[in-house]
Each structure stands twice: as structure tokens, then as C-alpha cells.
Structure 1
Amino acid sequence: MTFRNYCLAGTLLLFTGCTMAPGYTRPEPPVPANWPGGPAYTTETGTSAQKPVADIPWRDFFVEPRLQKVIDLALANNRDLRVAILNIERTRAQYQIQRSDLVPHVDANAAATLQRLSEDFSGKGVPVNIHQYTVGLGVSSYELDLFGRVRSLKDQALEQYLATEQAQRSVQISLVSQVATTWLALAADRERLNLAKETLAAQQESLKLTRSRFEAGVSSALDLNQAQTSVDTARVDIARYTTLVAQDENALNLVVGSPVPTDLIPGSISEAITAMKDVAPGLPSDVMLNRPDILQAENLLKGANANIGAARAAFFPRITLVSSVGFGSDDLGGLFTSDSFVWKFAPQISLPIFDGGSNRAKLKVSEVDRDIAVAQYEKAIQTAFREVADSLAQRGTIDDQLAAQQSLTDATSESYKLSQARYEKGVDSYLQVLDAQRALYGAQQNLIGVRLTRLANQVTLYKVLGGGTK
């Protein structure tokens, strides 16, 4: 390329404000157009939502007043969210620093030089005292961005800033869902603890009755020991669930960032059955591209794309300007006279001739970085698709599981009542009662777990669909 062509290209770029970065095209999502189908999925999973989940504020989804207050506390006090917000401020400042290179930096300066030259250096055979005073304004090393190098770096810094905004949204969505999940887990464990206490009370009454029957010679020592076993088992569960409740409270306080008032903690999972609304999944192409983690990956991809423009511009001349105007004099009193006016204009142009392949290698690095960012963007979409598909698979089967578990609990409850009646009439041994008690207790505990799973699935689905952060 001749110097004339250089000048023509530089003039064109200067007046159009273009860069040498390649045109950006969003990669096609590497996932199917529809969610998976099969026995694990309900029929409505292929339909589109009336309103994108990303546009549903979290208050419109988490409708339980106590849960809303706990989430508000977390948004105000959680330290991870604070770090994410501070990262936004940091990258915003970095972007402003990079953008400032597009305009000249004007500095005011003043200097005084007092110097004594020996007679050997003065050229006059006698020592000389030299006084110099200057004051002025100057532009130091301003680069004329003819080939878009500075603009490309500015664009890259902008995408970094936008990526941190998306990262903050992602942290907030994760925080809201984590608070809700921990709150629900605490509710479930408190209900399990209450169930264990109720079971212990019933078992103690049964033990008391069995001891009376044993003393009367109606029941055997085996029945008495089996009744004692049931009491001790319930005591073990009470101790275990007491520990779990305390740990759940600690976990909730940590994620919230401050102690949670006791009046905001539910007593059981049954109180939280209607804590959330249901959401429709929509289509992958509509949902995936609106998740903040995917938007963050795309911002990083755009930033890597802009870096290519800066690497390409390194092959072309760089023109920098150094200029200043002001006043200078050897006498402080004559500093601002008309004869003391001084100016300096020193443009400089540099053209890479031989750099040992450094610029070419840097260009290759920027192109590979762009390709890596493309792969990471596509992987983020694939990961999001898998997360939503997993949640939809659980959603498609959890209601059947809940109905079956409820039916099992009802059946075991009836079996316990019948076995108790048969034992009291002397038809069956106490072993039948003990087995029925254990089956009922296990079914009740499992029912609590299934209810927790169903509610947690709603929370997860809202999160992986990119729930709103307003």
C-alpha cells in the first residue's frame, strides 16, 4: 500500500468514525428450536409464554409477603451483590478512562529554572546565572485515531462495562432464587421437626399404654421394648431436625447478609404452598438470548471482536501530536509581555516496518480470543438449554409424584389406625403397629420433601428462564 493510499484510508476513517473491527454477527444458537418432548414433559412446554419470564418482576412471582421482605433484606445487605455493583462502577470508570483518549488532554503548566553555569561552560569566561520562567497550556501525545485503534479499545471497554451490568443482573437473579430456596428449605425442616415432636408425643403415649398392659400381663416384654424403640427413634429425629433448622437459619442469615426476623420465617412448608406463581417456559430462542449470563457472554464476544480492530490498526501509521502555547522569559517580571509569547507544534508519525512478527502475532491472538468467546457464548446457551430442560422434566412429573405421595400417606395413615385397633383387640401383635407407625412417619416425611421439591422447582424454573430483576 502506497503512502497515498494510507492517507486516503486514514482520511476516510477519520471522517466516518469507523474502526477496522470485523462486522459483528450474532452466532446462531446451537440448540433445538423447541424444548425436549417425551414422557417427562408436559404438553404445554412447547408453547410460548404470554409474557417473557425476563420481564416478570420478582415481586410478581414471589407473592408471599414474608418472603418478599426477606428478599428485600437480601438485596440490601448481601455482600456478593455489593461486589457485583462495585464491579459495575469500576468498569464504568475504566470505560471513561479509555473513552477519554479520543479527545486531546490539555494540561496547564508552569516552570522555573534557576541555574549557575561555571566559567568553563558559560563561554564568557565568567560564571553565569541563568533564570528561566515559563507558563502555558499544552497537549501531550494526542493520537489522531485515523484507523480506529483508540475507538476499538473504547468499544472493547464499553462491552466489558455492559458485561459487568449483566453479571450484576445474573447475581441478583441467583440471589433472589437462593433466598427463596433457603427460606423454603427452612420451612420444610421446621415442619419435619414439628412432625417428629408430634410423633414423639404419640409414641410416648403408646409407650405408656404398652407399659400398663405389660404390667397387667396383657402385653409382652417384646411389645414394651418395641414401643421404647419407637420413642427413641423419634427423639433421634428431633435432635437431627433441630440441628438442621439451626443450620438452615444460619444459611438464610448468610445469604441475606443480616439476621432475619423470626416473624418472617414460616412455620411449615404448607404455609408456602402458594408463595409463588407458575411461569410458562416460552421457546428456546426467545428465552435463552435474554438470560443475563448469555447477554454477558455476548458482550464479552463483542469486546473480543473490537480488539481485532485495535490489532489491525497496529499495522498502519500512528500520528501523535505534541503542542503547547504560553509565555517564557528570563525575568519573572517580563513573563507576560508580548515578546515573551512562545509556541510549539511537534507532530510525529510512526509506521511499523519490522517488528519480528509481533503485530501479526497480536492480531492472531485477538482472532483466537474472538473464536474462544464464540465457543463460550455457544456453551452458555447450551448450558442454559440443559438447565431449563432439566427443570421442565422435573416439572412434568412432580405433580404426579406429589399426588402419589399424598395417596400413599393417606393409605398408610389408615393402615396405622387399623393396626392400632387390631392390636388393642388382641388380634395382631405390637409389631404390626410399629411397622404401620414407621411407614406413616416415613410417608409424612417424604410428603414434606416432595412438596419442597415442587416449590424449589418453581424457583429454579424462574431462575433458569432469566427471571426479572426489578
Structure 2
Amino acid sequence: MKLLRPLAAAAGLLLLLAGCAVPRPPASVAGDAPPRWYASLPHGGRLADLRQWWQQFNDPLLVDLVEAAQVANPDIAIAGTRIAEARATRVAARAATLPAVDANASLVRGNAQAGVGLATIVQSGAQLAWEADLFGRLSARSDAASARLAGAEAGWHDARVAVAAETATTYVDLRTCERQLAVVRNDARSRAETARLTGLSAEAGFTAPAVAAQARASAAEGAARATQQQAQCDLLVKALVALTAMREPTLRERLAGRWSEPASFAVLAMPSVPAALLAQRPDVFQAERAVEAASADVGAARADRFPRLSLNGQIAGGFLHAGGQTSDVQTWSIGPLAVSLPVFDGGRLAAAEDAATARYGEAAALYAARVRQAVREVEEALVNLESARERSEDARVAVEGYQASFAATEARYRSGLGSLIELEDQRRVLLAAQTALVSLQRERLAAWIALYRALGGGWQRPDMPVARSE
């Protein structure tokens, strides 16, 4: 009895310590976000709901492509499996804090004792095992699993937004490629007509053969440019097929419809300050949950170096039939109540704590970098959007002016008052201006899509319980 008293006192002390977690690093770190936006913000018009943002393109094909890509994309499917894996890990981590009960049953028949004869022993029972959560080791692992589950769910949303933006950008690239194809085909037809007329004039002796050769070369250059542009459009069709898993004949049939560029977009609801952006970016939320999980891992690794208290017990019942007699057998036991304390492990547990602390530092650094990247993406999208807006009118005026100049130069050339060199110079200038206008239209749409992506695509931060960080 004297030996049991110290053990009971120690067990009582350890039970009082159960649930007291060891210190762990902060579960959240401050993001390095600037105090305000420095790029010009979009203004005017109505505010857009990012979740329905694609509808304002008034293009059913684009909406269908975005939905199809989100179904077919492997990154989204992988993100879904990570959610399932993280959920299972959380269930296992929470179960570790509860008692484990195992049932068993057995049947034995044989000659267990000399002179007794055959005997039958039937027994069933249950075994209990439980580890007290001393110093918060088990709860820390549960916190880490919960944080990783929340991060996996945010990662799934981030994958959906990224796929939607990539699909829309590819679709816009294709539509602007088709516009550019129309420009270069018109240019090729104009060059071919000039070459035809110049050839007729050379055959009649009114134009030098060298001039006719130059016109044919210009026509061949225009035809080659049109062929190259057609190939680029075909490649973008292939890219959309790969992104959406839509059959190419079906896609080309739907692409044959007329496409109109949206004249204006509803203004995206900008967060008042960059720090508010963190509440609507799933990738930032995922990085923050990674910091929380790493913090909990440090707490668990530290708690591994402290004592553990475990309790076992069992209860069993059955009967023994031997020599024509049957006897009931009932047994139960509670214990042992065991205390284990690491004494010497060659530095293994200390190294595990150091590794967990290093991983926490890495997660905190990645979170800070993700915050800066999020702010950068918004600022860049705003700069590109404002630049495209300011240049659009100038680009349109340039095309109109060069178009009028080319028409006048072409009229003079056909009347014999101008040279082919002058005409080709004007043609190149006009083609460059038309190409710049189409590229600017593509840049404007791409900037809106990039801003949609940078603002989180309509995702909202869920309400999360504050993790323990005693």
C-alpha cells in the first residue's frame, strides 16, 4: 500500500495537468499589406457580383466553357480528393482524444487439463484504452488537422477560380485571334488585288516588271501572315478542347456564331484597403491555415517530450463446460494506469520539435509572400485596366486616320499618281494600327479577367473558430 500511494499521487498530479497545452507559436501572422491602393480604381456603373460575373459577357458559350472546364479539370478533382483526405485525417485526430473500445470473442475446445477430459471455453468481452491529453498533444494534432481541412477546402475554391480565369482568357484570346485573322485576311485580299492590277499594268507595258514583282511579293507576304494567324487560332481551339473536354466539332460549330465584345463591365467591388483583400482570397486563407497547422504541429512536437498517462481496462464474461458441468466465468480489471516519460532518445524528440519549428517559419514566410503576391496581382490588373482604357480612344483614332490615309494613297496609286512603295508603306502602317487596336481590346478583357481572379472570384472567408495558442 505504501508503494501505491506515491503512484496515486503522481497520477493525480498528471490528471490535473491534463488539458494544459504547452506553449506554441502564434497561430496567425500579420500580412505585409500596404495601407492603401496605389493604382487607379475602376469607377462608374453598377457593382458586380463576382459569383455571377461571367454572365455579363452575354455569351452562353463562355459560361458553358467555364462550367465544362471546372468539371473536366484535374486540378479541381485533385483538390477535391485532398478535402476528403484532410477530412479523414481530422476524424482520426479527434478520435485519438477519445477512449478506444474493442470487442472480442473466443471459443476453445480441448483437453486443457489431464484427467478432466474435453472442455469447452466460450468467452466474450471488451477492452478499453485511453490516453489522457497531457499538455495538449492530442488536441494540437486535432487543431492541425482541422486547419488543414479548412485549407484544403479553400484550395478547392482557388482551383475553381483559377480554372475559370484560365478558360475565359483562352476564350478571349481565341475571339481576338479571330478578329486579327479578319484583319490580316482583309490585308491579304488588298495585297492580292494590288498585285493583280499591277500585273495587268505590267503586261500592258505601263508598269515596270520590278514593280509587279514587288506587288507579288507583298501579296505572298500577306497570304503567309493570314495562314500563320489561322494556325494560331486553331491552336487556341485545341487548347479550349483540352481545357473543357468538349468535342472539337461541337466547339467549332458553336464558335461559328457571332461574337460581340462587351462594351462595358460592371465595376468589381474593390476592398477598401489591401488588408481587406485577405478576406476574399482563398489562396491567402489556405496559406494562413497552413501557418495555423504548423503552429499546432510545434505544440504537438513539444508535448511529445513530456510525460504520458494511459489507462487500460477490460471486462469479460463466458462459461466453461467440462466433465458434464458448466461454470460461469466473469472477469474484469481496470489498469494498468501507466505513466511514461522519455528519458533518453538520442535527441530524436528535440530534433522533431526543431523540424516542426522550422516548418512553422517556412509557413509564415510563405503566407507573407502570398499576401504580397495577392496585392501585387490586384495592383497589376488595375494598372493594365487603366492603361487599356486610356489608350483605347487613341488607338481607335489612329486606325481611322491610317485607314483614310491608305484609301487616299491607294486611289492615287491606281490613278497612276502614286508609287507602289508609298502604298506598301501606308499598308504596313495601317496593318500595325489595326493589329494594335485588336491587341488592346484583348488586353482590356484580359485585365478584367485578371482583376476578377485577383479579387478571389467571389469567394468569401468562412467564419473560423480561433485556434488555441496557449
Q: CA deviation at 1:83?
A: 1.5
Q: Is the 2:307–2:339 contact (alpha carbons within 8 Å) kept by the matching residues of 1?
A: yes
Q: CA deviation at 1:183?
A: 0.3
Partner of 2:29: 27
Q: Bigger CA drift: 352-361 or 460-469?
A: 352-361
Task: Summarize the Cα distance change of 1:328–1:431 in structure 2 as closer, same or farther, 3 Å threshold.
Answer: same
Q: Is the 2:123–2:318 contact (alpha carbons within 8 Å) kept by the matching residues of 1?
A: yes
Q: CA deviation at 1:334?
A: 10
Q: CA deviation at 1:35?
A: 2.3
**Out of 355, 368, 389, which is 1:378 matched to?**
368
Output the TM-score relative to the length of structure 2.
Answer: 0.86
Partner of 1:112: 107
Deviations 1:421-453 (A, max 9, x none): 211232221111122122212221221111111
Partner of 2:161: 173
Partner of 2:464: none
Q: Describe how 1:2-401 pairs up with structure 2 within 5 A.
A: 7-8=12-13, 10-11=15-16, 13-14=18-19, 19-22=21-24, 24=26, 26-36=28-38, 41-42=39-40, 44=41, 56-59=51-54, 63-114=58-109, 132-139=121-128, 141-259=129-247, 261-265=251-255, 271-274=260-263, 276-282=265-271, 283-331=273-321, 339-347=328-336, 348-401=338-391
Paired letter, 2:329:
S
Unpaired runs of 5+ in structure 1?
Answer: none
Q: CA deviation at 1:204?
A: 2.3
Q: CA deviation at 1:263?
A: 4.9
Partners of 1:223 and 1:51 in 2: how far apart?
A: 58
Partners of 1:23 and 1:334 in 2: how far apart?
A: 68
Task: Summarize the Cα distance change of 1:5–1:400 in structure 2 as closer, same or farther, 3 Å threshold.
Answer: farther
Structure 2 residue 392 is the aligned partner of structure 1 residue 402: yes
Partners of 1:399 and 1:384 in 2: how far apart?
A: 23
Output the TM-score relative to the length of structure 1.
Answer: 0.86
Q: Is the 2:48–2:267 contact (alpha carbons within 8 Å) kept by the matching residues of 1?
A: no
**Out of 436, 442, 456, which is 1:446 matched to?**
436
Task: Summarize the Cα distance change of 1:112–1:445 in structure 2 as closer, same or farther, 3 Å threshold.
Answer: same
Task: Summarize the Cα distance change of 1:434–1:50 in structure 2 as closer, same or farther, 3 Å threshold.
Answer: closer
Task: Summarize the Cα distance change of 1:51–1:369 in structure 2 as closer, same or farther, 3 Å threshold.
Answer: farther
Q: CA deviation at 1:60?
A: 5.5
Give the secondary-structure state (helix, strand or coil) at the position aligned to 2:268: coil
The count of corresponding residues between Structure 1 and Structure 2 is: 450
Partners of 1:407 and 1:95 in 2: how far apart?
A: 62
Partners of 2:323 and 2:437 in 1: how far apart?
A: 94
Paired letter, 2:101:
V
Q: Bigger CA drift: 214-223 or 443-452?
A: 214-223
Q: Is the 1:21–1:306 contact (alpha carbons within 8 Å) kept by the matching residues of 2?
A: no
Partner of 1:466: 456
Paired letter, 1:142:
W
Task: Summarize the Cα distance change of 1:96–1:155 in structure 2 as closer, same or farther, 3 Å threshold.
Answer: same
Q: Bigger CA drift: 309-318 or 411-420?
A: 309-318
Q: Bigger CA drift: 290-299 or 258-267?
A: 258-267
Task: Summarize the Cα distance change of 1:358–1:50 in structure 2 as closer, same or farther, 3 Å threshold.
Answer: farther
Partners of 1:50 and 1:401 in 2: how far apart?
A: 23
Paired letter, 1:89:
A
Task: Summarize the Cα distance change of 1:334–1:396 in structure 2 as closer, same or farther, 3 Å threshold.
Answer: farther
Partners of 2:455 and 2:242 in 1: how far apart?
A: 25
Partners of 1:21 and 1:81 in 2: how far apart?
A: 37
Q: Is the 2:198–2:212 contact (alpha carbons within 8 Å) kept by the matching residues of 1?
A: yes
Partners of 2:324 and 2:94 in 1: how far apart?
A: 40
Q: Is the 1:155–1:303 contact (alpha carbons within 8 Å) kept by the matching residues of 2?
A: yes
Partners of 2:10 and 2:281 in 1: how far apart?
A: 45
Q: CA deviation at 1:24?
A: 3.6
Q: Is the 2:198–2:207 contact (alpha carbons within 8 Å) kept by the matching residues of 1?
A: yes
Partners of 2:333 and 2:327 in 1: how far apart?
A: 16
Paired letter, 1:77:
A
Q: Is the 2:83–2:152 contact (alpha carbons within 8 Å) kept by the matching residues of 1?
A: yes
Q: Bigger CA drift: 70-79 or 164-173?
A: 70-79
Q: CA deviation at 1:264?
A: 4.1
Task: Summarize the Cα distance change of 1:272–1:216 in structure 2 as closer, same or farther, 3 Å threshold.
Answer: same
**Out of 408, 418, 425, which is 1:418 matched to?**
408
Deviations 1:270-313 (A, max 9, x none): 72234854425432111134311110010010001111221232
Identity %: 25
Task: Summarize the Cα distance change of 1:6–1:26 in structure 2 as closer, same or farther, 3 Å threshold.
Answer: farther
